Amino acid sequence: MSYTLLFVALLAFYVAWNLGANDVANAMGTSVGSKAVTLKQAIIIAGVLEFTGAVLFGHEVTETLATKIANPALFATTPQILVTGMVTVLISCGVWLQIATSRGLPVSSSHAVVGAIAGFSWVALGVGAIDWSSIGLITIAWILTPLISGAIAALFYSQIKYWILDQPNQIVQLQEWIPWLSTLLLSVFGVIVLPSLTKPLTNLVIDQVGFNIPAYDIPLLTGAIAAVGLTIISWRQLEDRGNEGDKEELLPTIHYPLSPPESPASPIPNPVESLFARFQLLSACFVAFAHGSNDVGNAIAPLAAIVYINRTGSVPLDGITIPLWILILGGAGIVGGLAVWGKKVIATIGENIITLQPSSGFCAELATATTILIASRLGLPVSTSHALIGGVVGVGLVQNIKSIKFQTLKGIAAAWLITIPVSSVLSAVIFSIARILLF
C-alpha cells in the first residue's frame, strides 16, 4: 500500500472512529439511560453488533455512496480531482463529527457526508453540480422526522401507560400484552434488519438447491419464531414473579410506581420495568446491527472510491466491489470510537433530555425504527439521530412536559441545523487549498 493510500485509510478510520462515538447513542443511549444495560455492557454489545453489521452487510451502502452521490461521470476525465474531493469529504466529516461529539451533541453523519460532497463539488464543477432538489428533500426530512417519530412514540407510550403501567395489577396486564408487544417488536425491526440479513442466505439456497424463495419469506418466518420465543420466555419470567408474589401474598394488590426507588441489588427493582428492559435490549441490538451495516458507508465510501481509482486509473461508474479490509477498517473504527468517546453522546440522549425507564425507552426505540421504516419505503433520506430524539421527546410529552430539558434540545437542534452548511464550508475550503497546492 502506498503512503497516499495509507494516509487515506487513516482518514477513513478517523471518520469511522468519530461516527462510532457519535452515532452509537442511536442504538444504546436510551438503554443506558433507562438502566436496561450499563454503559460498559452497552459498549460491548454495540461493539460486537456494529462491527458484525459493518463487515457482513456494509458493502451495499458503501457502494451507493461511492458511486451515486457525486456524479462520477463528471469526473471521468479528471479522476484525481475526484480523489482530492473524497479526501476533503473525509477530513471535513471527521472534524465536524469530532466537534459535535466533544460537546455531546448527536448529529447526522449522513447529512455531514452530503454537505461535504456538495461543498467540494461546488468548488470543483460549479453550483450546477449540486443536486439542490436532494438538499431540499433532506431539509424537509430533517423537519418531519422528529415530529413523526415523536407522535409515534407518544402513541405507543400512552397506550402502554394506560393499559399496563397505570393499572392496579401491572403484572396481569403485562401477561396479556406480551404476545402483542413481541409481535410488534419483531415485526418492525424484522422488516428493517432481517431482509438484508437473510438476502445472502436466500441467494445461497437458490444457488445450491436450485429453487427460488421469495425474499421476505425467511424474514417473516424468522420473525414469527423469534416473537413466539420471546413471548414464552417473558411469560415464564412473569410466572416466576407471580409465584414469588403469591408466596408473599402481595401480588393481588401490589402497584409498582413509574419511577421506583433504586436498589443496591438491582438498578430496576420494578419487575414490570425489568421485563420491558428485555424488550428494550433486543430492540437496541437490532438498531446497533442495522446502524453498523448502513452508516459505515459514510466513513469508508470515499476510501473505496479512491482505492478503485488508484487501482484502475478510472472513476467508478457502474458500481464497485468493496474489499474486505476496507469493511473491517470501518467496523474497527466504529467500535474504537464508541468505546473511547461514546459516553458523552449516550449521556445526552439517555439522561439529559428526560428521565427514562425501560418502558419509555422501548417506545422511543420502537418509534425510531417505525419512522425509519416508513421513510425508507417512501425513499426519503432521514437521520436515525433525529428520529430517536423525536421519540424521546414524544415520550416526555406524555409523561410530563416539565420533565423535558429544553436547554439540551436547543443545543441539539442548533447542531442539526448547521451540520450541512458547516460540512459544506469545511469541504469547500479544504478542497480549494488542496487544489492550489496540488494542481
CB atoms within 10 A of CB 262: 11
Instruction: Look at residues 210, 227, 254 and tell me which one is the last residue of a structural domain.
Output: 254
The residue whose grid cell reads 458493502 is 59
Do 164 and 261 share a domain, yes or no?
A: yes
Do 124 and 261 share a domain, yes or no?
A: yes
Do 328 and 359 share a domain, yes or no?
A: yes
pLDDT band, residue 254 (cuts 50/70/90): very low
Q: From CA 26, how far away is CA 190, in angstroms rounded?
A: 18
User: What is the model's pLDDT at position 247?
Assistant: 39
Output the 3-class SS for the chain. CCHHHHHHHHHHHHHHHHHHHHHHHHHHHHHHHCCCCCHHHHHHHHHHHHHHHHHHHCHHHHHHHHHCCCCHHHHCCCHHHHHHHHHHHHHHHHHHHHHHHHCCCCCCHHHHHHHHHHHHHHHHHCHHHCCHHHHHHHHHHHHHHHHHHHHHHHHHHHHHHHHHHCCCCHHHHHHHHHHHHHHHHHHHHHHHHHHHHHHHHHHHHHHHHCCCCCCCHHHHHHHHHHHHHHHHHHHHHHHHHHHHHHHHCCCCCCCCCCCCCCCCCCCCCCHHHHHHHHHHHHHHHHHHHHHHHHHHHHHHHHHHHHHHHHHHCCCCCCCCCCCHHHHHHHHHHHHHHHHHHCHHHHHHHHHCCCCCCHHHHHHHHHHHHHHHHHHHHHCCCCCHHHHHHHHHHHHHHHHCHHHCCHHHHHHHHHHHHHHHHHHHHHHHHHHHHHHHHHC
Do 355 and 210 share a domain, yes or no?
A: no
Q: From CA 117, how far away is CA 365, in angstroms rounded?
A: 30
Do 161 and 179 share a domain, yes or no?
A: no
Of residues 379 and 163, which shows the higher confidence score?
A: 163
pLDDT band, residue 288 (cuts 50/70/90): confident
Do 17 and 118 share a domain, yes or no?
A: yes
- The pair phi, psi for residue 64, each rounded to 5°, is -65, -50
User: What is the model's pLDDT at position 433?
Assistant: 93
Q: What's the domain count of the chain?
A: 2
Do 316 and 393 share a domain, yes or no?
A: yes
Do 91 and 195 share a domain, yes or no?
A: no
Q: What is the pLDDT of residues 176-209, one digit of tens each?
A: 888 778 777 777 666 655 554 444 444 434 444 4
Amino acid at 42: A
Of residues 20 and 251, which shows the higher confidence score?
A: 20
Which residues form the domain of 206? 169-254
Do 321 and 364 share a domain, yes or no?
A: yes
pLDDT band, residue 421 (cuts 50/70/90): very high
Of residues 212 and 435, which shows the higher confidence score?
A: 435
Instruction: Retrieve residue 46's grid coordinates.
Output: 454495540
Do 159 and 245 share a domain, yes or no?
A: no
Do 360 and 428 share a domain, yes or no?
A: yes
- Give percent of the chain above pLDDT 70: 75
pLDDT band, residue 267 (cuts 50/70/90): low
Q: From CA 108, how far away is CA 186, in angstroms rounded?
A: 26
Instruction: Look at residues 222, 254, 286 and tell me which one is the last residue of a structural domain.
Output: 254
Q: What is the pLDDT of residues 307-326, one digit of tens each?
A: 988 888 888 776 677 888 99
Do 86 and 174 share a domain, yes or no?
A: no
Q: Is residue 280 a contact partner of residue 30, using CB atoms and an 8 Å limit?
A: yes
Report which listed range, 170-174, 330-334, 377-381, is most confident: 330-334
User: What is the model's pLDDT at position 219?
Assistant: 45
Instruction: Look at residues 208, 223, 254 and tell me which one is the last residue of a structural domain.
Output: 254
What pTM, to 2 d.p., does this model score? Answer: 0.76
